[in-house]
Chains A and B, each alone.
Chain A
Amino acid sequence: MTIVMHWHDWLALFGQYLLLSLLSISGAITTVPDMQRYLVVQNGWLSGTQFTSSVAIAQAAPGPNVLFVGLMGWNVGLNAGGGIDGGIHAWLLGFLGLAITMVGILLPSTTLTYFATRWGHRNRARRDVRAFKQGMAPVVVGLLIATGWVLAAGNRAPDTPPWHLWLVAGAAALVVWRTRIHLLWLLGAGAALGAAGFV
């Protein structure tokens, strides 16, 4: 797909990711529903497939999951440059998108972490520090489950029955919950089921 990005669009994207960085309690992955709303539904800068494949590629690769954020920026840039065949122009915009989203998602949270851990270490017995840590615990758990749900729901192929998708995602959740199997085996099984057209 091809889109037009003005300079104020890039600025808005950067601002959105700076904001999401501060909202990404328990990891950038919990802002996936919000990113999907912003990039796909509201602005149409990414197709739904580009969005979910960015998350899936980053999950399949080694390293922190947050790299999916950079891939989304990369894809927004490619779309703005006329796609992967748009030549050097598209690649440069891709790298611009990558830099904007990665710096945006990391700068506020790492700065906050740097100063907050120093402060928190000195004040770890304080009532408000403990209230924040413990009060956020159930919210974080609910967020993680919701994120898993939104991610799984975005992967439904139009020509397969929805229960196939929920069976696969549910089975994966059960296996991870109850066993210590290496996650790579699960991702491999998912890839095989997907390639075979089951989901």
Chain B
Amino acid sequence: MQPAVSDSLPDRPRPSSTADLFLSFTVLALQGFGGVLAVVQREIVEKKRWLTPDEFIEDWAVAQVLPGPNVVNLAVMIGDRYFGLRGAAAAVAGLLSAPLVVVMVLAVLYTYFAGDPRVAGALRGMGAIAGGIIAATGFKLVPQLRKNPLGFPLCLGLVALVFGAIALARIPLGWVLLTVGAAACIQTWRKIAP
């Protein structure tokens, strides 16, 4: 398939080839400790200028709403923008290949040292921190909900409802999305009536 928007980008930096895409995403993935999004923003938007900040925010919002790992989705979009399907594949492969090798080496090392209570403890400690980091990502997004057409109080109620259903009642994700998610989308659809 042809690239999505290649004709609308006359004179600005762009990846020179799919190999350039692959290597660029490999380099940024290997810098991304605890998540790659911040590095994507720094490398692709600020340094390489393949995307304007506005394009980045727009793509990021869509990548977040669609299912799948956000950064992988973003790589699909950026790769597709310049080289179509081949570009999307090159960007995703670059994002995953080298970090996968690193993770596998760490996992095998861990298997041999898992008997050491300090190693198990360190992993537990990092797990607790990782939980806090992810929750904080959610807290950081709460102010964005003020602009939501559902209204801020209803949004907070939905956040609490989803939290209770998943974290406390342990209801499977699919049911929560089919009920609460669908209801929220339908209500939004009614609120933004022209």
Contacts and interface: CB of A to CB of B under 8 A. Distances in A.
B110 A57 contact: yes
A172 B128 CA distance: 8
Contact of B130 (A31, A56, A102): A56
A30 B172 CA distance: 11
Contact of A152 (B29, B127, B149): B127
Chain A, interface size category, equals 35 or more
Contacts of A192: 122, 125
B125 A63 contact: no
Interface in B141-158: 141-142, 144-145, 148-150, 154-156, 158
Contacts of A196: 121
Contact of B166 (A58, A109, A150): A150
A66 to B, nearest CB: 4
A109 B177 CA distance: 16
A112 B88 CA distance: 13
A61 interface: yes
By CB atoms of chain B within 10 A, which of A61, A120, A199 has the most? A61
A90 B59 CA distance: 41
Interface residues of B, number: 105
B6 interface: no
Given A56-B130, A64-B32, A176-B136, A37 B189 contact: no
B129 A135 contact: no
Interface in B113-169: 114, 117-142, 144-145, 148-150, 154-156, 158-163, 165-167
Interface in A114-129: 114, 116-118, 120-121, 127-128
Interface of chain A, main secondary structure: helix
B15 interface: no
A141 interface: yes
Contact of B73 (A30, A110, A176, A190): A110
B136 A174 contact: yes
Nearest to A142: B162
B162 A114 contact: no
Interface string A148-176: 11111111110000000100111111111
A140 B61 CA distance: 11
Given A63-B99, A149-B167, A173-B135, A134 B123 contact: no
Interface of B: 4-5, 29-36, 59, 61-73, 76-77, 80, 85, 88, 92, 95-96, 98-100, 102-104, 106-108, 110-112, 114, 117-142, 144-145, 148-150, 154-156, 158-163, 165-167, 170, 172-174, 176-177, 180-181, 184-189, 192-194
Given A60-B33, A64-B32, A189-B129, 9 more contacts: A26-B65, A30-B173, A53-B127, A63-B100, A64-B71, A121-B5, A190-B129, A192-B122, A198-B125
7 contacts: A31-B173, A55-B130, A60-B33, A70-B103, A137-B148, A140-B65, A148-B138
Which 6 A/B pairs are nearest by Cβ-Cβ distance? A194-B125, A63-B99, A109-B68, A148-B135, A142-B162, A152-B131
